[in-house]
Structure 1
Amino acid sequence: MQPSLTTQICNESAPACNLPSRRVIASARSVTKRFNGKTALHDINLDICSGQVLAILGANGAGKTTLINILLGRLNVDAGEVSVFGYPAGSLPAKRRAGVLLQVAALPETLKIKEHIQLFQSYYPQPMAYQKVIEYAGLQEMQHRYSKKLSGGEKQRLLFALSICGNPKLLFLDEPSVGMDVEARKGLWQAILDLKKSGTAIVLTTHYLEEADRLADEIVLLKQGEIIQRGTTSQIKASVSHAIVRFSANDSGTDYTTIAAVERVTSSGKFIELASSDINQTLKALLILEPQVQDLTVSNMGLEDAFLHLNQQNEHTTTGATNKQGEQA
């Protein structure tokens, strides 16, 4: 089978991989997918490049898993085109060069870790060396343990090992560190960075925004099946010109939403956080309202703050557009 599309140099649609050494190995063009008349993805355009970690972020139901399943060929598109290594998604040549760790997976319980890995290696013409697989997955000390004896985090490490058995050049990781302890998660992160350095493209979905912040060259934010923002982590953060005011206060029932320039209020225990579009106005108003405020700090928005703000901002924009359309109609 000959490729249907020629692999191309990364272009401006993939801002984090516009280096000459990185090439587009998978792409989605004007992809739309519906389920029972409801749009799950709408007009998605995306490039995935070699030697890149691409994080696809969004709330539950945003379309992340649907997009991955389309790129894997597990779902057909209703409109648009998908290419993986120049072949149709899900074709044998594409499958042989890709690996995947999905959120839901079951394993035979009567096999040992070593047997699982060796079985998966046998499926591929040029598998990754066994020793390298178990080192990446951090399974050296438990390779003779039966899978039914594994904890949730250990099972996740085994699933990661199976996803790289074929020595993939494109690796899909859907919530890969769920259930892992801190040490195992850091080991996984290092394995991902090592695979990236070797030229593998990694597509990552995660609810741990620290994970995306640490690993991703490019981030794509999905909301209700549409891309609402994309760029490097620095670009995503810089797109939100807000600051966070954090302080502790007595439970006085104060309505902090009335403070000047405050756009969001969150609380955790005794601490209150205000997202402000004008830090000077907010601080002046806060100190008048709460002159005895304690533990006061001011910081720029992190990725999690930017993610929440952009989701809210997009929701307000969409609602406003809908209202205007309704008035015109």
Structure 2
Amino acid sequence: MQTSPPLPASAASSPDHAPAVVISDLHKRYGSVQALGDPAAGVSLTLRRGELTALLGPNGAGKSTLINLMLGLEAPSQGRVSVLGGDPRDPRTRTRLGAMPQDLSLPAGLSVLELLTLYAALYPRPLAVGAVLELCDLKAQARQRAATLSGGQARRLGFGLSVIGDPELLFLDEPTVAMDVRSRQTFWEGVGEMRRLGKTIVLTTHYLEEAERSADRVVLLSAGRIVADGTPTQIKAGVRGAKVQFVSELELAQVQALPHIEEASIDEHGRATLRTREPEALLAALFACGMQIHELEVSRATLEEAFLNLTAAPASTPAHKELKA
């Protein structure tokens, strides 16, 4: 069986220490609506090359607006956006970008192979169509019309169209929506290949476990502002500490009297759940009380818990939280 050659490491993927994206004091307004920034300060952000950054936030936080500005689809009301050292609205810069939108609109009458060939013709140094078919696990559907693809196959084709131009900077907007388990696995394997080639990737997703597992960095937006910026581990460590759970005969008042507790509850089965920023000190105090405990579990906050905590903060919080190890 003949197989396509592996994707080559192109000149576009060669190491470059210059940032992939530099955003300075960015504001975007639609009439009286401030989508990004606030009267006190705009959004400032630098994305490093070769990293996968998860851009997270609730609906209406400004994620789509920020991505559209980085793609050159819109112009800032104030401030500056530099992408790969140039203006994202410049066609020479845009040919170095790739994007997989959440809402795909594929020409129904064209086949998978025809669409990839058509898109490849739009770029100066595209990837081989056969290699992209293999990357997206669509070789068996190459002659199939786009209208007849399943939801997962159509999403994988959207990924193929986003990478066919061999982009240096790749935007993935809710990429795994409507994907089944197999399609998700194929997609993330493809993302892994893009990372191996040194691509810079910006991901938006509501599946926070995907961001937690795949991202080098998380940038959290709320109300048009950056409220947290760090690795997934740093984001989680900076919010509400740890969760301690156990079963015992302690009453709620006894549990609440323990030191270093921020929240405490006991369910109908006698299982206590405690929130603390100092789990080691709390455990020492718990063992010192002499009461037998069972089914002890200690876990750090999840990215979802951090997300909910940080995006629930008042919009008037003065500055975003850049977390350090």
Q: TM-score, normalised by structure 2?
A: 0.77
Task: After superposition, give the CA deviation of every residue in 1:169-212 in whole Å (9 maximum; x if it has no partner).
Answer: 11111111111122221222222122122121111111111211
Change (3 A) 1:23 1:138: farther
1:306 and 2:306 are equivalent in the alignment = yes
Counterpart in 1 of 2:76?
77
Task: After superposition, give the CA deviation of every residue in 1:188-240 in whole Å (9 maximum; x if it has no partner).
Answer: 22221221221211111111112112221111010111001101112112212
8 Å CA contact 2:264, 2:272 repeated in 1: no
Residue 26 of structure 1 deviates from its aligned partner by 2.0
Residue 21 of structure 1 deviates from its aligned partner by 5.3
Counterpart in 1 of 2:164?
165
Task: After superposition, give the CA deviation of every residue in 1:221-262 in whole Å (9 maximum; x if it has no partner).
Answer: 1011100110111211221252224579xxxxx9xxx89845
SS where residue 164 of structure 2 aligns? coil
Q: How do residues 32-111 of structure 1 correspond to structure 2 at under 5 angstroms?
A: 32-42=27-37, 43-111=42-110
Letter in 1 for 2:35: A
Change (3 A) 1:108 1:303: same
Change (3 A) 1:82 1:117: same
Task: After superposition, give the CA deviation of every residue in 1:133-162 in whole Å (9 maximum; x if it has no partner).
Answer: 112222122222111111222111111110
Q: TM-score, normalised by structure 1?
A: 0.76
SS where residue 155 of structure 1 aligns? helix
Q: How do residues 1-329 of structure 1 correspond to structure 2 at under 5 angstroms?
A: 22-42=17-37, 43-245=42-244, 261-263=261-263, 275-277=275-277, 297-312=297-312, 314-315=313-314, 318=316
Letter in 1 for 2:303: L
Letter in 1 for 2:209: E
Q: Distance between the aligned counterparts of 2:244 and 2:217, measured in 1?
A: 28
RMSD value, Cα: 3.2
Task: After superposition, give the CA deviation of every residue in 1:56-115 in whole Å (9 maximum; x if it has no partner).
Answer: 011111111110001111111111001122221121011111010111221111111111
SS where residue 88 of structure 1 aligns? coil
Q: Distance between the aligned counterparts of 1:140 and 1:165, measured in 2?
A: 15
Gaps of 5+ in 2: 1-14, 319-325
Letter in 2 for 1:302: T
Q: Distance between the aligned counterparts of 1:231 and 1:38, measured in 2?
A: 28
Residue 311 of structure 1 deviates from its aligned partner by 2.1
Q: Distance between the aligned counterparts of 2:307 and 2:264, measured in 1?
A: 13
8 Å CA contact 1:57, 1:206 repeated in 2: yes
Counterpart in 2 of 1:17?
none
8 Å CA contact 1:264, 1:276 repeated in 2: no
Q: Distance between the aligned counterparts of 2:160 and 2:66, measured in 1?
A: 23
Q: Distance between the aligned counterparts of 1:63 and 1:180, measured in 2?
A: 25
Change (3 A) 1:246 1:308: farther
SS where residue 87 of structure 1 aligns? coil
Residue 282 of structure 1 deviates from its aligned partner by 10
Change (3 A) 1:207 1:185: same
- Compare the two structures and name the one with the higher helix fraction: 1
Gaps of 5+ in 1: 1-19, 249-253, 286-290, 322-329
8 Å CA contact 1:259, 1:282 repeated in 2: no
Q: Distance between the aligned counterparts of 1:273 and 1:154, measured in 2?
A: 43
